[in-house]
Structure 1
Amino acid sequence: MTNHQTLVSNSIAGAIPIAVSARHCHVSEEDFFHLFGANAQLKVWKELSQPGQFAAEQVISIKGPRGQIDKVRVLGPFRQDTQIEISQTDAIKLGVSPPIRMSGDLENSSPITLIGTHGILHKENGLIIAQAHIHMSETEAASFNVADQDIVKVEITNEVRQIQIMNVVVRVSPNFRLEMHIDTDEANAASITTNQTGKLMKMG
C-alpha cells in the first residue's frame, strides 16, 4: 500500500470540479472474455471525463452473500486486474465489507461474484469502496501547491449543506484533467448539485 503524505497548512484557494462515480467495474482482458464470450468486444458506450477512459456497452451483475446488484457498468480500457468499486450502501445490500482503498490497491480486498452474459466469475479479491481522490495534471498540481499522493480535504458548500470530505488523495499525471471523484453516498450526504465544485484545503 502506498504511504500517503499528510500535509499541514491552512486552506488554499481554488475550485475543484466534482464528479460522482456510481458503482462500476474495471476488467482484465481475460476476465472480460470469460464474462462475455471469446468474440466479445469492449466497445465505447460513452466517453468519460478523464482522457482515454470510457464507459463500455457491457454491464454485469455483482452478487454477495445477502443480495445482488444488476446493471453495473463496465469501464474501459482493460486493466491488469479486475476491480469493482461500490458505495457503502451497495455493500450493505450485498452483505459484504469492502475496504476503502485507492484504485489498484486490491490486496486483501473483498471477494465478489461477477455475472456476465456468458459466464460467472468469483473473485477472491477486487471489491473496494473507492477513496475520494482528485485527478490533476502536473500544471494544476503546481498551481495548488500539492504533489502526487498528498492527502487533502475538500470543502463542499451549496444552498443545502456545507461539509468537508477528509483524507482525499491527490493523483497527478500528465494524462489527468482536474476533477474530484466521490461516490454516490458522499454525493448524497453533500446534496451535490450540477456543476458542483469544492474548495481544496490542506490537512491540519
Structure 2
Amino acid sequence: MDHQMVQSIVEEVVLQLHQAGKPTPSVPIGVSARHVHVSREHLEVLFGSGYALTKKADLSQPGQFAANETVLLAGPKGSIEKVRILGPVRGATQVEVSMTDAVRLGYRPPLRESGDTKGSSPVTIVGPHGSLYLTEGLIIAQRHIHMTPQDAMVFGVKNGELVSVQTSGKRSMVYDKVLIRVSERYKLDMHIDTDEANAALLATGDAGNLVQSSDDAG
C-alpha cells in the first residue's frame, strides 16, 4: 500500500470521526526515568575499548532499547547510582533527568527537546572502566508525543506543534506545551518524566487525550 493510499484512508477515517462527533484516539503514556544516551567514544571511555551495549529490553520506539549497562551520575551536591543507558549509541552523549534528580545532583538543567544540549548543564558520568566530565549535556526533557505522519493526520497536528493533553483518574491533569514529534520511524507514545507522572499518579500504559493546542490555551 503506497503512501498516497494510506493518506487517503486516514483522511477518510478522520472525516468519519468528526461527522460522528467521536473523539480522536487517546495517546498512550510512557514514563521516562532518568537515563543516558551515550556516544561510541564515550561508551569506550566508560566501559573499555571495543565495548558494545547489551540489550535488556526493547522500548516503545522501534529500534530503541534499555541496555543492561548502568553508570553513576555525579554533581556538586551528590550522586545517583545505576542510571541506565539507552541504546543504540548516538552521535553525542546526553543525560536526561527529572528536576528532583537535578536537585539531588546540585544542578538546575534547562528544559530542552532531546538532542538540544548546547549550553545545558555539566555532569560527571562514572562507569566501571573510567569516567568523563561533560561541560554540557544534562537536561530535563520536554514532554513530547512521538507520532507517525498518519497519526499526526488523525490528531490534526504537525511536527513541532505544542498541544495540551488531558489525563483522567484520581489526580487528573492537563499537561500543556507537549511537543509533537513526527517521523515514519516513530510509534505513537507520549513521554513524560517521573516527576510529571508522580504528580498525576500516572504509570506507563495509562493514556491521555489531546484537548486543544497550547497556543489556543493562551
The answer to whether TM tops 0.5 is yes
5+ residue gaps, structure 1, are: 1-11
User: Deviations along 1:137-177, whole A, 9 cap, x unmatched?
Assistant: 0100010011111100111111x111111111000000111
Distance 1:45 1:51 in 2: 15
Name the residue aligned to 1:97: 108
Pick the aligned partner of 1:182 from 169, 192, 204: 192
Q: Which residue identity is paired with 1:144?
A: F
Q: CA deviation at 1:193?
A: 4.1
Q: Any idea what SS the aligned residue of 1:141 has?
A: helix
Distance 2:124 2:151 in 1: 39
Q: CA deviation at 1:14?
A: 2.8
**2:29–2:204 contact (8 Å) kept in structure 1:** no
Distance 1:82 1:193 in 2: 27
* Runs of 4+ more than 3 Å apart: none
**2:166–2:209 contact (8 Å) kept in structure 1:** yes
1:57 and 2:68 are equivalent in the alignment: yes
Q: What value does the CA root-mean-square deviation take over the aligned residues?
A: 1.0
Distance 1:91 1:66 in 2: 10
Distance 2:85 2:196 in 1: 21
Distance 2:87 2:159 in 1: 23
Question: Quick one: structure 1 residues 101 and 37, their matched pair in 2 at CA, closer, same or farther if it must change by over 3 Å?
Answer: same
Distance 2:75 2:112 in 1: 19
Q: Which residue identity is paired with 2:107?
A: V
Pick the aligned partner of 2:176 from 166, 181, 193: 166
The number of equivalent residue pairs is 192
Q: CA deviation at 1:57?
A: 1.4
Name the residue aligned to 2:205: 195
Q: Which residue identity is paired with 2:68?
A: E
Query: Which has the greater radius of gyration?
Result: 2
Q: Which residue identity is paired with 2:149?
A: E
Q: CA deviation at 1:92?
A: 0.8
Name the residue aligned to 1:8: none
Name the residue aligned to 1:116: 127
Distance 1:195 1:82 in 2: 28
Pick the aligned partner of 1:74 from 85, 91, 102: 85
**2:29–2:192 contact (8 Å) kept in structure 1:** yes
Q: Any idea what SS the aligned residue of 2:153 has?
A: helix
Identity %: 48
Question: Quick one: structure 1 residues 193 and 30, their matched pair in 2 at CA, closer, same or farther if it must change by over 3 Å?
Answer: closer
Q: Any idea what SS the aligned residue of 2:25 has?
A: strand
Name the residue aligned to 1:143: 154
Normalising to structure 2: TM-score of the pair?
0.86
Q: Which residue identity is paired with 1:173?
A: S
1:16 and 2:47 are equivalent in the alignment: no
Distance 2:140 2:154 in 1: 29
Q: Which residue identity is paired with 1:177?
A: K
Structure with a larger share of its residues in helix = 2
Distance 1:195 1:32 in 2: 31
Distance 2:177 2:49 in 1: 41
